[in-house]
Amino acid sequence: MTDVETFRCVSWNIHRGRGNDGVVDPDRTARVLHEEVCSSDLDALILQEADEEAPPHRGFLDLARIEADTALRHIHGDASHRWGPESHGFLGTVVFLHPRCRVEDIALVDLPGHCHRGAVVVDFRLDGRPLRLAGTHLSLSQGLRVAQMRTLGQHLFRRAARPTLVCGDFNEWRPWGGLALSHGITGLRLSGPAPATFPARRPFLPLDRVLVTAPARVATARVLDGPGLRMASDHRPLRAEVAFDP
């Protein structure tokens, strides 16, 4: 098995293409992804609010353009890996992976709440190393976040153990993560920094996270900035480099 030094990912809530000017412009979102978000060394891109909010949760992005611009691949090609035939992902969570990531399994996890939420869980191998990525978007309510992370944790507990990244818009403003992200609720010992990502123009709340289980660790976590990013969404993207200890 080849050792993997780092796994580089970006998580971004794109606000359904609605910018801070109130204009819904998916073309702008794709352009900003290309120019200010996705570098050539990226292994994964996890988007939230990347489908329309109401059923049938239609996708609105130009997937072919994003794949061409980023060299990443949309993993939801099979209809069973999307909310519905018109969706690009599952309840707004859309995952792109580098072609060298060999996908083994994709699971969609319904999470409880008044507003339908979900998670996309991807088991894959990167140069022979088994990894797991869970992308999600949690509720604004602390009580519902607890229930949602409990549900996701129970799902992950039933799967064969492997280093796991849990990332997305957690809507958790406390840097220490609160009850929802605790070991007692998730059954996972998640770790990772909490830089501020919201609101986009002047972030002071750490709503977006990349958290990992051992032997993975978040080596760096950086909130991206740029003129397009400050306008394209109400969140800033979070880029993380995950290292693997022996």
Residue 118: name the closest of 96, 89, 84 by CA.
89
110 bridge partner residues = 118
pLDDT tens, residue by residue, 148-192: 999 999 999 999 999 999 999 999 999 988 999 999 999 999 999
Residue 187 burial by Cβ neighbours in a 10 Å radius (0-12, 13-18, 19+): middle
> CA-based Rg of the chain, rounded to a whole angstrom?
16
pTM of this structure: 0.96
pLDDT tens, residue by residue, 102-160: 999 999 999 998 888 999 999 999 989 999 999 999 999 999 999 999 999 999 999 99
Tally the C-alpha atoms within 13 A of residue 218's C-alpha that lie toward its C-beta: 23
User: Picking from 4-8, 78-82, 163-167, 203-207, which range would have the lowest pLDDT averaged per residue?
Assistant: 4-8
**DSSP-derived 3-state class of residue 155:** helix
CB 235: neighbour CB atoms within 10 A? 24
Q: Mean pLDDT across the chain, nearest whole number?
A: 95
108 bridge partner residues = 120
pLDDT tens, residue by residue, 12-53: 999 999 999 999 999 999 999 999 999 889 999 999 999 999
Contact at 8 Å (CB) between 114 and 80?
Answer: no
pLDDT value at position 1? 38
Give dist(CA 98, CA 221) in Å, integer.
19
Give dist(CA 65, CA 8) in Å, integer.
21
